Structure 1
Amino acid sequence: MRSFGKSRILIIGCGDIGLRVAKQLSRSHHVFALTSQKERFPELRDHSATPILGNLDHLDSLWRLRGLGETVIHLAPPQNMGNRDSRTRNLLHILAQAPHSVGRLIYVSTTGVYGDHRGGYVSEVTPVNPQSERAKRRVDAEQTLRLWAPAHGVALTTLRVPGIYAENRLPIERIQSGTPALLPAEDAYSNHIHGDDLARIVCAAVYHGKPQRVINVCDGGETKMGDYFDVVADAFSLDRPPRMPAVDLQKLVSPMLWSFMRESRRVTNSRLSELKTPLRYPSVAAFLKTISKNPSDPQRD
């Protein structure tokens, strides 16, 4: 096995959250990041990650990953079609070619695997009930990993994540476009986590994640989706979105957006304390108090 001095971490799917993770972990680890776009190499290097060219949709492009990471952080979403996650299967096929090289794998999944609970509470022991193809692919990935990890001596931590927000991930354009929200009586509960907090939790799982453990990574708030849009609109002095009944709104929005709007659940986060990393932003409102209210303010750049 190749030696690089520092322990090696391989990030699969190095987008916004992956870059935040890479920047933190590179202080004490040698971080590699898979990308299918060679033009992203400078950006990855700027975040102290060594880029590796490969595409999860093409197994033959992934052989350089074999034996590369002692810890693997899997942030890549499944492909866009079907009920099975072929990308995760391709990754595991490659990792299995170097037995005992991977000791820990952290998979970032979604709370969408719980499906609709009509506003009820869900925890990590709630049975999954995926209702969209997207969520079914995530369940397939979780189940595939859950079988693969113990068979290969790998400690698997699955982080189920809801809606991610940050200063660069707020629904400003949606609000400005006047896209309606549901009437309060019909609205769905949504759950959130700040991008920085998520990245910190992913890093904490490298050190504190229990083997074969599922953890909900959310702030534990109980906010309906329309109220979330309202609080963001208020913070930026924008008009609040109009409200519409579900029967009318479904005709106006895309099927993907509607799949988010129709599922209502309140996700609990009692296991989050296992990772020993308190959230910096316990709510969206707490975060919004820390940023400028004027989106054109030059100090925001």
Structure 2
Amino acid sequence: MSLRLSPPRLLIIGCGDVGLRVLRQLGGRLPVFALSSSPARFEVLRAAGATPLWGDLDRPETLARLAGLADRVLHLAPPQNQGREDRRTLNLLRALARDRAPQALVYTSTTGVYGDAGGARFDETRPVAPATDRAARRVDAEQRLRWFGANFGCRVSILRVPGIYAGDRAGGHPRERLLRGTPVLVAEDDVYTNHVHADDLARACLAALWRGRPQRVVHANDDSELLMGEYFELAARLCELPPPPRITRAQAAEQMSPLQLSFWSESRRLVNRRLKAELRLRLRYPQPAQGLLA
């Protein structure tokens, strides 16, 4: 008599563009539940292969059914828009703690937790230094998740994610910005940016769910080291569009919103060695020149 083991169950929190790409790559091989606060998205989730669950991370009383539901959890939901704490992640963890904890949990954070590094190249051992409330909320979520993993026997992986792009991602291709004529900084004021194709990020999420080390941070970026202006000029050449206009930082302070300026004030180059060595991920789009054409 042979013992047939049931496949692990996956719960996706915040199943937007990246979550749908994860579902496509799974191809129905696992039972997947997807938490959503919008019943209007249920048909999309079902069509992608997930069982939709209604729940709102801002309303903890709606999350009770998540306890003990899944063996693995992929947390893609952003924090709320105010404050320096991520109350949504806190509500999620309280719900998961009510029953058997998942074996593994993967959280997509942001590389913004580092603040400005002056263009330095570094790995995941660099201390965080969030310069905005938005980044501070992510640091708060990371700390709560790693504590949960250490105290509830759950293998937590933190993926720090830079700018996500893809030709079929809403707002995720630079051609839209190029068509609007949005400027970039002059070379002497420019900042290093980091990127990852949305399909590679989805593959990194799956790799971390099965191969991530306990309470480990991993940079989920490609191999490029481009200044922001170089990135948009590359996209312009590939799309056969005019290059973006260049302005000084002083001009940007007069023309841009505080949110836009926050992205123009941080410069860093991320080492992705753990992504390749520990998660054993081979990037399909190691350079934007490949991913922008995909």
TM category, shorter? over 0.9
Q: Deviations over 1:141-167 (max 9, x none)?
A: 001111111101101111111000111
User: Equivalent of 2:273, from 270, 273, 286?
Assistant: 270
Deviation at 1:250, TM superposition (A): 2.0
CA separation in 2, counterparts of 1:259 and 1:235? 27
- The answer to whether the aligner puts 1:252 opposite 2:255 as a matched pair is yes
Deviation digits for residues 152-184 of structure 1 (CA, Å, limit 9, x no counterpart): 110111111100011121022211111110001
Cross-structure match for 2:92 = 91
Q: 1:237 aligns to what?
A: 240
TM-score where L is the length of structure 2: 0.94
Structure 2 match to 1:28:
29
> Would you say 1:213 and 2:216 are equivalent positions?
yes
**Would you identify which runs of 4 or more consecutive aligned residues in structure 1 move more than 4 Å?**
none
Residue 212 of structure 1: CA displacement? 1.2
Partner of 1:37: 38
CA distance in 2 between counterparts of 1:281 and 1:26 reads: 21
Which residue in 2 is equivalent to 1:279?
A: 283
Q: CA deviation at 1:81?
A: 0.6
> Which secondary structure does the structure 2 equivalent of 1:20 belong to?
helix
1:74, 1:88 → 2: CA distance?
Answer: 9
Count matched residues.
286
| Contact 2:101-2:154 at 8 Å conserved across structures | no
* Alpha-carbon distance between aligned partners in 2 of 1:270 and 1:24, rounded to the nearest angstrom: 23
CA shift for structure 1 position 276: 1.3
**Cα offsets for 1:235-256 (capped at 9, x unmatched):** 1111111101101112212211
The answer (yes or no) to whether the contact 1:157–1:213 under 8 Å persists in 2 is: yes
Superposition TM-score, scaled by structure 1 size: 0.92
Shift of 1:261: 1.3
The answer for unaligned runs of 5 or more in structure 1 is 292-301
CA distance in 2, matches of 1:212, 1:26: 28
For 1:12, give the aligned amino acid.
I
* Aligned match of 1:162: 162
219-228 or 185-194: bigger deviation:
219-228
Equivalent position amino acid for 2:148 in 1:
W
Specify the alignment match of 2:114 in structure 1: 114
**Does 2:50 correspond to 1:49?**
yes
Q: Is the 8 A contact 2:149 2:214 kept in 1?
A: no
* Alignment RMSD: 1.3
2:16 is the counterpart of 1:15 = yes
Contact 2:156/2:214 (<8 A) preserved: yes
State the match for 1:65 in structure 2: 66
